[in-house]
Amino acid sequence: MRKTIQAIRGMHDALPDQTPRWQFVENKVRSLAQSYGYAEIRMPIVEPTELFTRSIGEVTDIVEKEMYTFQDRNGDSLTLRPEGTASCLRAALQHGMLHNQTQRLWYQGPMFRHERPQKGRYRQFHQIGVEAYGIPGPDIDIELIMLSARLWRELGIDGLELQLNSLGSAAERSAYRTALVNYFSDHPDQLDEESQRRLRTNPLRILDSKNPEMASLIANAPVLTDYLQTESQTHLATLCETLDKAGIAYTLNPRLVRGLDYYCRTVFEWVTDLLGAQGTVCAGGRYDGLVSQIGGRDTPGIGFAMGIERLLEVLDAKQQNITPPTVHAYLILPGERTVAAGLTFAEKLRDALPGLALQAHCGGGGLKSQFKKADRSGAHLALILGEDELAENSISIKNLREEIDQTTLKLDALPAYLADTFNLEQA
Ligand code: ATP
Ligand code: MG
């Protein structure tokens, strides 16, 4: 026998017993986004590599070592998207959606990063992202944070901590960068190899180091907040005041730098202590310089993305019960002659009761084995359309979950019976 083929390491199937949890999250996001006036956008999964090198930054973990990059048959360099912000902006620019207008958009889908697979960290993972374009002030920053806070409430997730920082403008960050390079250069022996390299390429990223041996060095480093000028200070202060008024708790974390180069001013993360090292379930920030970086006219932007797998892991840790969708009735069709009539009748029932979840038996077999399948489907009722019933224009009904005697009804009485039993509207 040939070896069976397995999924790629770090890429997972969501099996039928898992998908109700995915749908639960997706449905909540869909209706919430709509209620705030955000429209869904869907982008391709593959983009020109240049889109990511230009936006995320050449000297970031993602671009340096995590992207799935390959040549297509024309020799063009393509990349499986590692995140959605750049693609979303590319699409908005390409379709002239940023021309003298603001946009509020959201998307969802798979992202790809060649990371070391572990709990909360996969090579194909899924994000839901929300982005707003053309709005420079802190009002939209606040709206996005409020939207995410409401989402946690609706999902039944409490205990997430909101961490907040300002990365300032490009000029402020550049002044800070000089101070940081001076500071770390004074302690070269305390820098690990990675950080020594970062010192030359992208010193802010040293602050994001997860190496515990560097923790105290990092803790004593200069903080960016001290380098903010009036405009950035006011932006952050307004954000904080409004969050205070709205009763949304946050922690100012001056070390929060984020792993992508395009951020400026507001950055934030929602963090849990339930998932160990992979504690960030949602992260985002402002990226006012990004549009010009990928070739458009300067347009402010802000967004965030949440990792669906990590959100689901939080729901699991909280033992949040998500009920799978139920099958109302299973149609048993014993005897070959009942199949065609049965399937046709099932269609009529579905027309009559749009909310009905009806599974019709396919694949033949005797009454006993069909009953077994009916039971396994989770259906509440078995509807039996045998040859006797068919001859009399009737149907037998057996409750699979309660001790109730089997009954027989006329076929045309069934829609009303099911509507009554399951509280369904008749068409
Ligand atoms: P981390 O610091 O955990 O690597 P990141 O800064 O790389 O995260 P972002 O690029 O900001 O993450 O992505 C936003 C969110 O997407 C993260 O907060 C997380 O929930 C999720 N995410 C990122 N990478 C992965 C991954 N490899 N597997 C699962 N989820 C991920
Ligand atoms: Mg990462």
83 lines ligand 1 (CB under 6 A): yes
> What average pLDDT does the segment 257-285 reach?
88
| 342 close to 386: Cβ distance less than 8 angstroms | no
- According to the model, what pLDDT value does residue 277 have? 84
361 lines ligand 1 (CB under 6 A): no
- According to the model, what pLDDT value does residue 50 have? 96
Atom in ligand 1 nearest the alpha carbon of residue 305: 14
Residue with CA nearest ligand 1 atom 6: 259
Over residues 308-366, the pLDDT tens digits come to 999 999 999 888 788 888 899 999 999 888 999 999 999 999 999 999 999 999 999 99
Helices (H), 202-263: 215-219, 230-246
| 259 close to 269: Cβ distance less than 8 angstroms | no
298's tokens: 């300067």
121 lines ligand 1 (CB under 6 A): yes
- According to the model, what pLDDT value does residue 255 have? 85
Ligand 1 geometric centre to CA of 278 (Å): 8
Ligand 1 geometric centre to CA of 242 (Å): 27
278 lines ligand 1 (CB under 6 A): yes
pTM, two decimal places: 0.91
- According to the model, what pLDDT value does residue 259 have? 63
Atom in ligand 1 nearest the alpha carbon of residue 62: 7
209 lines ligand 1 (CB under 6 A): no
Over residues 77-96, the pLDDT tens digits come to 999 999 999 999 999 999 99
Say if residue 260's pLDDT is above 70.
Answer: no
Atom in ligand 1 nearest the alpha carbon of residue 83: 10
* Ligand of minimum distance to the alpha carbon of 280: 1
> What average pLDDT does the segment 30-39 reach?
97
Strands, E assignment, 38-187: 39-40, 46-48, 68-71, 77-80, 103-112, 124-133, 161-166
> What average pLDDT does the segment 357-380 reach?
96
| 55 close to 262: Cβ distance less than 8 angstroms | yes
- According to the model, what pLDDT value does residue 57 have? 84
Ligand 1 geometric centre to CA of 223 (Å): 24
